[in-house]
Amino acid sequence: MQKLILPLAIACLAFSCSPKKEAAIFPVVIATWDSGKPVCEASWEVLSQTDGRALDAVEKGANSIENTINCCVGLGGNPDRDGHVTLDASIMDEQMNCGSVAFLERIKNPISVARAVMEKTPHVMLVGEGAQQFAVENGFTLESGELSEGAKKSYEKWLEKSEYKPVINIEQSQGAGQHVDVPKKLENGDYNHDTMGLLALDNGQNLSGACTTSGMGFKMRGRVGDSPIIGSGLFVDNEVGAAVATGQGEEVIRVAGTHLVVEFMRQGNSPEDACRLACERIINVNPEKAKTFQVAFIALNKAGEYGGYAIQPNFSYAIKKGEQDTEVIKAKSHYSKEDLK
């Protein structure tokens, strides 16, 4: 018997036959939330070209939503508790090149600054003033910093409810004013997020990913979430697959969420199962607390298979491949609406 197995394995390696896997389907792009639909379509303009690169596709998709006014991505997003919009973004290509920016203010396209960090510096991450300075030096416009109409309104409402007053000499006031919680949910009952994460597999069968956000609305000034942290908000391993996260960033950071998803895929799990296992890892940290926040992952493997999974219901993601129209898929979740009643 053993005599047979070895030649079979060698033959399989030589002809790269893998009996369980179906032929890879590409190009394909997936993106978080319903708002991922137009984002997938923007990415498709690149991916549909024979030599369209996944990296260019995810940057284009991310730019397309950064250029619109919405609650949670780009300069139109909800501000921090002191009234400033601060942006986090990361990007990663098929060669493990990666770049990110965090706590970036007054720059419209953080994902493109993250790409510039990746391509023009020896570093992975730039933050705050330094990131802004780098952006301006590289031709990005310094915008006014004014809040969008929608953000102004939500901020004023939040101020009323939280009664938050920025404290100048915080050291002397022994932390007064710092006990205001970041709301897990917004006024309309939605979870306080809608980060755009997207993953693409191009015609050359290469993977890339991007993640861009204004983070949790009304966060503490200086707070950075998972989105710009490679291995937490985004991870791409061109041998295996890629994953991106959305939701309560702190919970994703503590388990290095997207790296975990990719490692679960490496162990042979489907993208959906890998996302589910990573959600379960987070839930196991504190099952009671996990009932109160949302975390969701989406993943795409080298064969073009994709999936998503969330802790709470109502997470969706968009997918575009081949000639098919972009589809929005409701992801499975650990908890159902009934569980939470």
- Verify binding: residue 258, ligand SD4, rule CB under 6 A: no
Q: Which of 76, 231, 241, 249 binds ligand SD4 (CB under 6 A)?
A: 249
Count residues near ligand SD4 (CB under 6 A): 14
Q: Which stretch binds ligand SD4 (CB under 6 A): 168-176, 242-250, 265-273, 331-339?
A: 242-250
- Verify binding: residue 276, ligand SD4, rule CB under 6 A: no
- Verify binding: residue 195, ligand SD4, rule CB under 6 A: yes
> Quick one: 200 or 224, whose CB is closer to ligand SD4?
224
Q: For residues 130 and 120, what is the distance between their CA atoms, to the nearest angstrom? A: 14
> Quick one: 258 or 326, whose CB is closer to ligand SD4?
258
- Verify binding: residue 333, ligand SD4, rule CB under 6 A: no
Structure tokens at 316: 């969706």
CA dihedral 213, 152, 154, 109 (to 10 degrees): -10
Q: State which amino acid sits at residue 86.
A: T
- Verify binding: residue 308, ligand SD4, rule CB under 6 A: no
Q: For residues 34 and 246, what is the distance between their CA atoms, to the nearest angstrom? A: 13
CB of 302 to ligand SD4, least distance (A): 25
Q: Which of 29, 186, 216, 318 binds ligand SD4 (CB under 6 A)?
A: 216
Structure tokens at 144: 């006014």
- Verify binding: residue 246, ligand SD4, rule CB under 6 A: yes
- Verify binding: residue 227, ligand SD4, rule CB under 6 A: yes
Active site residues: 195
CB of 311 to ligand SD4, least distance (A): 12
Q: Which of 53, 81, 193, 259 binds ligand SD4 (CB under 6 A)?
A: 193
Q: How far is CA 111 from CA 6, 16, 63, 91, in A?
A: 48, 36, 7, 7
Which among 139, 249, 231 is positioned nearest to 191, based on CA atoms?
249
Q: Which of 70, 213, 238, 258 binds ligand SD4 (CB under 6 A)?
A: 213
The DSSP element (H or E) to which 234 belongs, if any, is strand 234-237
Q: Which of 52, 247, 257, 271 binds ligand SD4 (CB under 6 A)?
A: 247
Q: For residues 140 and 148, what is the distance between their CA atoms, to the nearest angstrom? A: 20
Sheet strands (E) in 24-124: 28-32, 87-92, 98-104
CB of 265 to ligand SD4, least distance (A): 21
| Binding positions for ligand SD4, 169-188, rule CB under 6 A | none
The residue whose two tokens read 């007053």 is: 165
> Quick one: 36 or 247, whose CB is closer to ligand SD4?
247
Positive/negative CA dihedral, 13, 14, 18, 23:
positive
Q: State which amino acid sits at residue 49.
A: Q
| Binding positions for ligand SD4, 16-75, rule CB under 6 A | 72
Q: For residues 214 and 111, what is the distance between their CA atoms, to the nearest angstrom? A: 12
Q: How far is CA 274 from CA 157, 206, 266, in A?
A: 39, 20, 9
Q: State which amino acid sits at residue 91.
A: I
Q: Which of 59, 66, 93, 194 binds ligand SD4 (CB under 6 A)?
A: 194
> Quick one: 83 or 247, whose CB is closer to ligand SD4?
247
Burial of 266 from C-beta contacts in 10 A (0-12 / 13-18 / 19+): middle
| Residues lying near ligand SD4 in the complex (CB under 6 A) | 72, 193-195, 213, 215-216, 225-227, 246-249
